[in-house]
């Protein structure tokens, strides 16, 4: 039986995610970190946009594609280095996702749309880009924030949270405030959003 184009593109993305050498415990199993991350992104999209198009669903799944291949440490320290790394990662992930979509039978317009979403073009004005960003922020807050906040200076962490919060939709704000998190992490979020 021949796979439909969505399933073919999704499986191709997940095969690349599965090559991540870092692993994470996910319940009773161990998964490659980026595959697990991609699955968390898709799970959030199902909650916030159950009617999402195939293009958005594939963009969300490809948002972190092969980040492990070019580590953050390959770029200069500081904000400019981080922004350059993030921009380059988005460009690479977008190009690769678009190529996999074309290989699966999507037209170039849909493939480029997915790449533009991954690059977060139109953030603040494009509903699909906003949905992708909301998923990324919610995955961060749900899965990485508590540990990350223990390694970052308090004032800097509050600034990061405020910037993250500004990028999120009101719907994502509500979902974020309902997340289960340790008390110290919850206090940081409350401090950051109280202004």
One digit per residue, the tens of pLDDT, for the chain of length 195 reads 457 999 999 999 999 999 999 999 988 899 999 999 999 999 999 999 999 999 999 999 999 999 999 889 999 998 899 999 999 999 999 999 999 999 999 999 999 999 999 999 999 899 999 999 999 999 999 999 888 888 888 888 889 899 999 999 999 999 999 999 888 888 888 888 886
27: left (phi over 0), alpha (psi -120 to 50) or beta: left
Cβ count near 93 (within 10 Å)? 23
Is residue 29 within a helix (H) or strand (E), and if so which, with residue range? Answer: strand 29-32
Closest among 159, 166, 163, 165 to 177, alpha carbons compared: 165
Say what the pTM is: 0.93
Taking the mean position of all CA atoms in its chain, how far away is CA 125?
A: 18
């Amino acid at each position: 039986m021949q796979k439909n184009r969505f399933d073919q593109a999704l499986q191709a993305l997940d095969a690349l995610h599965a090559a991540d050498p870092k692993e994470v415990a996910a319940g009773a199993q161990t998964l490659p970190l980026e595959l697990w991350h991609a699955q968390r992104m898709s799970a959030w999209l199902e909650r916030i946009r159950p009617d999402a198009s195939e293009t958005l669903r594939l963009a969300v799944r490809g948002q972190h594609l092969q980040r492990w291949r070019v580590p953050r440490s390959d770029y200069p320290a500081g904000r400019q280095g981080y922004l350059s790394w993030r921009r380059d990662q988005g460009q690479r992930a977008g190009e690769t996702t678009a190529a996999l979509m074309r290989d699966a039978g999507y037209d170039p317009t849909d493939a480029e749309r997915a790449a533009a979403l991954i690059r977060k073009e139109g953030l603040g004005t494009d509903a699909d880009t906003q949905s992708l960003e909301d998923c990324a922020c919610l995955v961060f807050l749900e899965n990485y924030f508590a540990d990350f906040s223990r390694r970052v200076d308090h004032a800097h962490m509050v600034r990061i949270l405020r910037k993250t919060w500004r990028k999120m939709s009101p719907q994502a704000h509500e979902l974020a405030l309902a997340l289960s998190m340790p008390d110290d992490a919850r206090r940081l979020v409350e401090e950051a959003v109280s202004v």
